[in-house]
Amino acid sequence: MVKIGMMIGNRYEILEKIGTGGMSDVYKAKCHKLNRFVAVKVLKQEFSENSNFVSKFRTEAQSAAGLMHPNIVNVYDVGEDNGIYFIVMELVEGITLKKYIEKKSRLGFKESVSIAIQVCMGIQAAHNNHIIHRDIKPQNIIISKEGKVKVTDFGIAKAATSNTITSNVMGSVHYTSPEQARGGYSDEKSDVHSMGITLFEMLTGRVPFNGETTVAIAIKHIQEEIASPRDFVPEIPASVDGIVLKCCQKSPDRRYQNMAELIADLKQSLMNPDEDFVVVNSPVATGGTVVITEGEVEQIKKATGYQDDVPVKPETMRLREKEQEEDEYVDGEEEDGDDYDYDPKMERITTILAIVIAIIICIFVLIIGVKVFQKIESSKNAGSPISTEESKQVILPGVTEKSDEQVVEKVEMPELRGYTVENARNTLTEMGLKSKVEYEESDTVDAGLIISANVTAGSEMVKGSTVILTASAGPQGVEVPAVVNLSYEEAENKLTAEGFEVLQMEAYSDTMPAGIVAAQVPVGGSKAPRETTVTLTVSLGSEIKKVKVPGLLGLSEMDATVILTESKLSIGSVSYVYSGYPVGQVCFQSQGADTWLDQGAAIDIQVSQGPAPVKVTYKCNLSIDSPAAEDPAYTSGSPVSLKLVASDGTVLLETGSVTSFPHSANYTNLNASSGKLTLTYTVTSDPTVDEEGNTIPGESETKTITREVAFTVE
C-alpha cells in the first residue's frame, strides 16, 4: 500500500495524492536522483495481483513511453517495487479542458481552434508511432498554468499493427465514434471523430448526444446525425462549423483521413474563418443513416457492461465501470466519472421509438421526393418560359414576379455587320453582353470589319451571354503562330516574323514560370490580317505576398502561435531559456516586429523559464593539525599521508609524507559545501625486554583518522 512519505524505486518520494482513476491512483512525488517533481501513477492494490490488469497496466506504459512531444504528457519511467506497479510521468500543474469549459461555459472559436491544433499535434505524434488513443475527451486534455495543451492517459491505446483491432473498452461514450460503439475496427479516424466531439463541446459548452443510459447514447452515435454547432451558437464561423461536421461524419471515409488534414483546415480557419473551404469526401456506398440490428444492440450492451434481465454482481459492475473511467489527474484536483443508471425497459422503449421515428422520416422524404418529381415533369410539359415584349424579362417556372433575385434580364441583339471589331465589342459590352472574336479570310469585306455574328440581329439574349463575332482577316489573312509556353523573346520573334504587332501584358501565375507566355489573343492557329496586334500575357510567376511580422515579446506561447497564424506566418522552432521575462512569456523572436517577410515564413521563438538560478561557489582555507590531537600515540615528526575530497567527489589534496604541522590547504571556486579529510600514519610501540633479558622491537600499526571539513561561501 502506498503511503505519503514512502520511497518507491529507491528514488521517488511520495508527497501527496493528486488524482484517481478506474485502475490507478496518481501521486505527486519528488525524484531525488534528478531533483524534480513528477507524477507517479500506481496500480491499485486490488488489481496488482490480477495478471490481466498488470498486463494492461504495462501495455499502457509501453504505449506511452515511446511518445516524446510537447503536446503529450511524457512518460519518464516504469517499474515495480515490492508488488507496487508504477509509471512515472511528467507533472503538469494546471486544469483539465473539461474543468476549463465548465468554468467558462463555452470557449470562443479562436481559443477553441488554437487548443484543438495543439491537441491534434500531440495525437498526430502518437499516430506517427502507430498508436491510437481511442479515448480522446476533455477530461484527458490538460491546460498547464503556462497555457501549454497536453494530451494524457493513453490507458486504452494499443499499437495499431494488425488489420483487425477490437477493443472491449469503449472509453467515454459521449465522445466515442460509431465504429467504436459497434465494437468493431477503429483506427486513426476514430480519434478524428472524438476530436470533433471535443471541439463541438468547446464551441457550444455541451456534448451533441445525451441519454438515460450508455446504450442509448451509443445508439444515437450510430443512428443520429450530429447537429450543427451553429444551431446552438450562431456566431460560430462557417469554416469551423464545417470542420466539426466533417470530423463527426458517421462513415470514417467521409472524415478527415489523418490529423495532418485536420490541422491544415484548423489553421486555415484561423486565417479565413468565413470561407467555405471544408470539403466532405464523397459518401461510400453504405453511407447515410444506418439502422442497427438487434445483434448490434446486444454487442453494444456487452461492450458497455449491461445485460437485460440478468443480475450483475456489484463487484463485477464496479470492475467494469473502473475499466471505463480512466479520469486524468490534475495537480490538486480529482476528476469524477459519469454515472449512468441502466433501465432495460426504458432502453427498449428508446430503441423502438428511434426505429419508428426513422421510418416516419423515410416516408416523409419519399413523399417530398415524389412531389418534387411531379413538379419537374409538369415544368417540362409547360414548355419554355413566357416572355413579354414590354419588359423583355422572363419569369422562371415556380418563381413569383415579386422575386427580383430570380428575374433574368434580356436585351435585343443589335446589327453589327460592317462594324469594326473594337466598336462591335464596345457596343456589346455596354449592353451587358460578352464577346469573342474569330477571324476568317474574305475578299469582299475589308480587314478588321465584322462579317457576321452567331446570334441573329433582333433576337433576345440574356445579359451576360457571349456573342461570337466573325471578323474579316482580309484577302491576305495568315495563321497566327501559337506562342503559349514560349519565352516572351521567342514569342515576339515568331510573331514579328509573320508580320504581326506584339503587345505585352503581365500577370501573376501559379502554374507558369516567370517570363513565359501564359495566354495570347488572337489564339494560336486562328487567322488574322498582317499587322494585327497580338496581345501576349506574360507570367510574373507566383505572387509572393509580404506580411508584417507582429511583436511577440511578452506573449504566452499559445497567444504567439495564434497571432502568427492569423498573420499568415508559421511558428518555427520553440526553445526554452532563462531570461528576465516572466515564466512562460516569449522573450525572443528570430525576426523583429514590423519587418516584412514572405507569407508563410517561419518565426523561431524562445520562451522564458524565468531568471537563471544563481550559482553558489565555496572556498576552503584549512590549517591541518597533526594526528596528536586524536591519537596520543602519534610521534611528532612521523610522516602523515593527507587526502582531502569534496562532497561532490572532487579530490582537492592527496600527499604522502607530511611531517611538519600545521599544514595549509587553500582552494577556491568549489561547487561543494563540505569535504572529508583523511590522515593516514604509522605508529610503532615501544620495545620490550623478555624474562631472559632480550630486547623485543616494538610493533608497527597503520592508523587512519577522518575529519569532516565545512567550506565557506565565497
Q: Looking at the annotation, which residues are catalytic? A: 135
Beta-bridge mates of residue 437: 469
Contact 229, 236 (CB under 8 A): yes
* CB-based burial, 38-57: b 16+ in 10 Å, e otherwise: bbbbbbbeebeeeeebeebb
Positive or negative torsion for Cα 249, 251, 252, 256: negative
Continuous segment of H or E residues that includes residue 505? strand 501-507
Q: What are phi and psi of 114, to 5 degrees?
A: -65, -45
Other CB atoms within 10 A of residue 655 CB: 13
Amino acid, res. 392: K
CA distance 115 to 270: 12
Q: Cis bond leading into 283, ω under 30°?
A: no
CA distance 221 to 174: 8
Cell of 211: 441519454
Residue 667's SS3 state is strand
Q: For the chain, state the CA radius of gyration.
A: 41
Closest CA to 338 of 480, 231, 511, 210: 210
Q: Enumerate residues 6+ apart whose C-beta is below 8 A from 33.
A: 11
CA distance 129 to 225: 32
Cell of 177: 465514434
Contact 173, 306 (CB under 8 A): no
CA distance 191 to 136: 6
CA distance 431 to 463: 8
Q: Cis bond leading into 252, ω under 30°?
A: no
Burial of 389 (0-12, 13-18, 19+ CB in 10 A): exposed
> CA separation (Å) from 4 to 7, 11, 18, 87?
9, 14, 12, 17
Q: Please tell me the number of Cα atoms within 13 Å of 593 on its side-chain side.
A: 10
Burial of 572 (0-12, 13-18, 19+ CB in 10 A): middle
Rounded to 10 degrees, what is the CA torsion of 579, 582, 583, 589? -60
